[in-house]
A and B are shown apart, each in its own frame.
Chain A
């Protein structure tokens, strides 16, 4: 089987999704002629025309707001937000409208759509290009949030999101857009949006991560087990809302030790939410406190100091030592 990078897998998913469903419209800044700044939408405009791969004026409010209308009136919009830090002018539409139409019309008018967002840090970009604000999205009732961690899951999840009857925020780990190559089936396939994936089964400790941090976590684990041969269970969370607590709690009960690794600011984060649910559901199965490895409650620094913010092997290793103590 041929190998693809995440960008190519996403691009293939968009091609196949748009072939399958002629109501899908891709819209965003520079997505058409240029194929997007990360090239995820390359070739779509050539193949499907300017009405289905649309270069919009520079307005995230315009993109997400009009996607609501497009969706209500029969289309399936795929919005591209150029970088995570630029979603906020459109955030009003997500938090006040995208997630509420189904409820407010008692199920009559719905807003299925995908909002694709290159996500997270680690590429030494400019300000506002590297934040990790997934908890803000997961906090919103009425919208799904997913994040792939490799090319295979990227393609399957995006096709899954394109079939969903509900709106999805689709976070794309920009640091590993081109970092991993993996075998990806040529044919159309979907991966369920609300399921975590057990990357490795184990009995002594559970490590939960997602997106680009999953890769960093694996690197840290590979080093760690050289001197501490532990039987760890590694979970790729995949769905950040809803969280697949069946998988998480079963694992927590089994191992009794849980480490959560992500790059968000620590306070009121997704890791805190998971820790809260674990202690509610299985406190007496735990052998150690749930440990969080995260970024800090600070502004993401400019590139020279960026690596001090994002958890690296050292911080993850320290977390492993803590949870195993």
Chain B
């Protein structure tokens, strides 16, 4: 876009999706429509047919695991859980093009994303069960812990992407959040710093239309979230967040802009939170059933499924096999998670500082005594 005077136009020209996106006449980038028809043939082969089948299988896995988590909460076997129902394409698309050592800085509605990125499902479940062992990630995986405070993690992603440039490193950082987070002051600080310091960071906003009961339209007067990028002198794009092909195409460009050119970007993925905010929420209090029904046909799974069936890339039997396999895996994982012992009583003292100190040790011993003495 010509209005971005400070941006290197020569570089941007090599990134046609970002280059073409116009904040004064915003359009949603799409490759595949709701019926699984390709509407943008230039990007039809962003991934191979085989890869598309694998992505579909992952979407099924995420949906099945997510449903299971909601049920576990209902049965009192898990704490409050935020469902990703309807956002499966974003969960995968945000990190699909990442290399293993790239960073992910997630918020809380990312159970599928962190699993896809490589955190075992068992860990994801343990965290929501309320067992600290769920926060023990392997050394070789660059994923920050679930961020519960909305917006607070955005500047952290800026810092990681900034450090990577300073180190002449090759890793990029994807920071995921949703529409509500764009109202926090930290959103401004994060994007501004990222642009000023040329951080290798991609800001990925899952605009799922709600922040609990607050509709996206009450969150900001801006027509799109993507256009906010331009105020920071960074490229932005709005993309159909239920269209996995479009997401992958956009993130490919975004990652390369960050990796090769130290140009951070803002990607707004338009999707919809089909479920309640969390298992503690009742969305009937604030939104019409009709609205949810209108979004259901735009589901990312329905659309990819239609595409795959039309192209004869998958059969009913194969699909059923995928589902059965996923269910079996999820059930086995639930079992392991539930059988995992709770952390020790004094676990809370273990990682506080690099070393303990006498007053803290005294408290730890008091706690141990409290729960081992039957006075």
Contact = CB atoms under 8 A, between A and B. Distances in A.
Interface string A121-137: 00011111100000000
Contacts of B131: 302, 304
B138 interface: no
A72 interface: no
B48 interface: no
B315 interface: no
Given A58-B181, A126-B148, A305-B345, A299 B130 contact: no
B132 A305 contact: yes
A298 interface: yes
A301 B347 contact: yes
Given A89-B151, A304-B132, A304-B342, A58 B214 contact: yes
B127 A302 contact: yes
B108, B342, B346, B363 interface centre (most CB from chain A within 10 Å): B363
Contacts of B345: 305, 308
A314 interface: yes
Nearest to B180: A58
A304 B343 contact: yes
A167 interface: no
A306 B181 CA distance: 28
Interface of B: 79-80, 108, 127, 129-132, 134-135, 146, 148-152, 180-181, 183-186, 211-214, 218-220, 280-281, 285-286, 342-343, 345-349, 352, 359-360, 363-364, 367, 370-371, 375
Contact of A303 (B79, B219, B286, B359): B79
Contact of A297 (B80, B219, B363): B363
A318 B342 CA distance: 25
Contact of A57 (B183, B286, B359, B375): B183
Interface in A298-320: 298-306, 308-309, 314-315, 317-318
Closest 5 CB pairs of A and B: A303-B130, A57-B183, A34-B213, A58-B180, A298-B348
Contacts of A300: 348
A279 to B, nearest CB: 19
Contacts of A298: 348-349, 352, 360, 363
A266 interface: yes
A119 B281 CA distance: 19
Contact of A315 (B80, B343, B370): B370
Given A62-B183, A304-B342, 14 more contacts: A30-B286, A37-B280, A57-B218, A58-B183, A58-B214, A59-B184, A126-B79, A126-B80, A267-B359, A296-B364, A299-B348, A301-B347, A302-B79, A308-B371
A33 interface: yes
Contacts of B347: 301, 305
A16 B157 CA distance: 46
24 contacts: A30-B286, A33-B286, A34-B213, A57-B180, A57-B219, A58-B151, A59-B183, A60-B184, A85-B148, A89-B151, A126-B79, A127-B146, A127-B148, A296-B367, A298-B352, A299-B348, A299-B352, A303-B130, A304-B130, A304-B342, A305-B345, A314-B375, A317-B375, A318-B370
A126 to B, nearest CB: 5
A242 interface: no
A89 B280 CA distance: 24
Given A296-B363, A303-B130, A304-B132, A89 B213 contact: no
Contact of A30 (B213, B342, B346): B213
Nearest to B130: A303
Given A57-B219, A58-B150, A58-B214, A296 B183 contact: no
A35 B285 contact: yes
Nearest to A37: B212
A298 B131 CA distance: 16
Interface string A21-61: 00000000110011101000000000000000001011111
B185 A89 contact: yes
A59 B179 CA distance: 12
Nearest to A32: B213
Given A89-B184, A296-B349, A303-B79, A58 B130 contact: no
Nearest to A267: B359
A250 B152 CA distance: 46
Contacts of B280: 37
Contacts of B285: 33-35
Interface of A: 29-30, 33-35, 37, 55, 57-62, 85-86, 88-89, 124-129, 266-267, 296-306, 308-309, 314-315, 317-318
A29 B127 contact: no
A308 B350 CA distance: 14
A33, A57, A60, A266 interface centre (most CB from chain B within 10 Å): A57
A34 B212 contact: yes
Contacts of A62: 183, 185
A37 B281 CA distance: 8
A274 B346 CA distance: 28
B280, B285, B348, B364 interface centre (most CB from chain A within 10 Å): B348
A303 B130 CA distance: 5
A126 B128 CA distance: 8
B180 A124 contact: no
Contacts of B79: 124-126, 302-303
A57 B185 contact: no
Contacts of B150: 58, 86
A125 B346 CA distance: 20
B144 to A, nearest CB: 13
Nearest to A57: B183
Contacts of A304: 129-132, 342-343
B125 to A, nearest CB: 13
A128 B348 contact: no
Contacts of B108: 126
A296 B362 CA distance: 10
Nearest to A315: B370
Contact of B211 (A35, A58, A266, A306): A58
Contacts of A61: 184-185
B320 to A, nearest CB: 36
Nearest to B184: A59
A201 to B, nearest CB: 28
B363 A266 contact: yes
